[in-house]
Structure 1
């Protein structure tokens, strides 16, 4: 655990130094400006996406706690705000969420981040389910989409036909079933072009991609070129130092590392009381 924490501290200091010394991106000044009024055409495009609703009991079952402001949502709200401010500073719109190994909590975090963004009425966000070998957003939201995300990315159906909308300002693009060969989709130029078209048409403030774990296959490596930055989720009780170090190095080769989230860390209160 000490090695893992030391690595996190080192990564944080390096990242902070990069942010201080990095030349501002051309889009950064625009990103910091207040949002202009949404045009009727843009509002109509968002409203044309089929809405869905999910009961609190289903969200709670999957540890999604950010639908409303509450104590349990505070850590995710802090992460939302820090990530959003840093992305605005750099003019970034696309956030990938991944982990070294499965069962680290990346999909839980992605869903909480999306619903937390949804409480900011002046923000629009889109969440994409790209862990195509083991998709789970359908289970997390207890919702079945009209079509799978693979059909949309391959051009068989439009984004409007495939995606579903939660509230007024959060859209979720889900997979219907597991894909045997996701790399052919994630690496395809057609996928990159489709994402560019979605961004141009729907003008989201944030596009969040729930990706597979880095060290289990090549799917995430195939896609990261399409992301502006990435959050790495590590689990304190299972992720090893070597796994974290390898994952961070792999991600940094393809995109910017926005930060690292340490999940499932439980400090010893008795030790704190006697320290």
Structure 2
């Protein structure tokens, strides 16, 4: 009996040591991840610049509320399906997809327990740099083609949002978005920085083949349509095209006329 008791005690202490070692290892990984994020240069955007571009989610408030509702709905669905990569696209240009993407990213930035990466992959017409009025040190195409590392190109907004922007047009975006190198680079970024969610601002579906080339790399997509501009036929074609390559997470009807009497 005494030998059995001694064996049980030894097993219990061994189990506790193993659990303690696991907790220490997990803490070390988290600390290392924090170091990686804090090593990315920070950039600041004045409030009036954000407001000019209708990016209103830096702070909570009435203007941020619709985007916060959208953020919460997206997060719940993505967590339920264990999805991390979200594409934001539209049937045609000027629908507000970049506005939605930027507001989602900054809204997620207010979630202190979450880390997000925002990537501008509208390589023919990059605009996130314009929205933040910030010129990155390099273009995101240089990262995807392995000319530089992600840490040399990305900028950090606050503590927990990384932005990969571009200020120049790529001459052959489809080649980059179709390349296996791009897939490997994105996988490496995700494995290294371990974001909870990655938001890709993609081109409009009906203007070229860039988005079709890339959608296989995301878990789901949000389609942004513009009231009184996007035609039903355009939206229908866009939804079917997106659904062929990934999951349609939802649709946003942007710029709908506001009536304060309803």
**Length-normalised TM-score, structure 2:** 0.88
Picking from 231, 235, 254, the partner of 1:244 is 235
For the pair 1:127 / 2:139, whether they are aligned, the reply is no
Q: Match for residue 107 of structure 1?
A: 98
Distance 2:86 2:260 in 1: 34
Distance 1:115 1:40 in 2: 23
Picking from 182, 193, 197, the partner of 2:188 is 197
Give the length in aligned residue pairs: 236
Q: Deviations over 1:18-71 (max 9, x none)?
A: xxxxxxxxxxxxxxxxxx866211111111111100000000010000000010
- Structure 1 residue 120, shift from structure 2 partner: 0.3
Distance 2:179 2:220 in 1: 19
Equivalence map 1:1-275=2 (5 Å): 39-266=30-257
- Structure 1 residue 266, shift from structure 2 partner: 1.4
2:221 is paired with a residue whose SS is strand
Distance 2:194 2:143 in 1: 18
- Structure 1 residue 264, shift from structure 2 partner: 1.0
Distance 1:168 1:267 in 2: 34
Q: Match for residue 4 of structure 1?
A: none
Q: Deviations over 1:45-102 (max 9, x none)?
A: 1111111000000000100000000100000000001000100000000000000000
- Name structure 2 gaps, 5 residues minimum: 1-25
2:167 is paired with a residue whose SS is coil
Distance 1:74 1:269 in 2: 15
Distance 1:104 1:223 in 2: 20
1:144 is paired with a residue whose SS is coil
- Name structure 1 gaps, 5 residues minimum: 1-35
Superposition misfits of 4+ residues, deviation over 3 angstroms: 267-270
1:97 is paired with a residue whose SS is strand
- Structure 1 residue 146, shift from structure 2 partner: 0.9
- Structure 1 residue 269, shift from structure 2 partner: 6.1
Q: Deviations over 1:104-151 (max 9, x none)?
A: 000000000000000000000000000010001111001111110000
Distance 1:175 1:186 in 2: 15
**Structure possessing the higher radius of gyration over alpha carbons:** 2
2:134 is paired with a residue whose SS is coil
Distance 1:175 1:44 in 2: 25
Distance 2:103 2:63 in 1: 11
Distance 1:118 1:269 in 2: 29
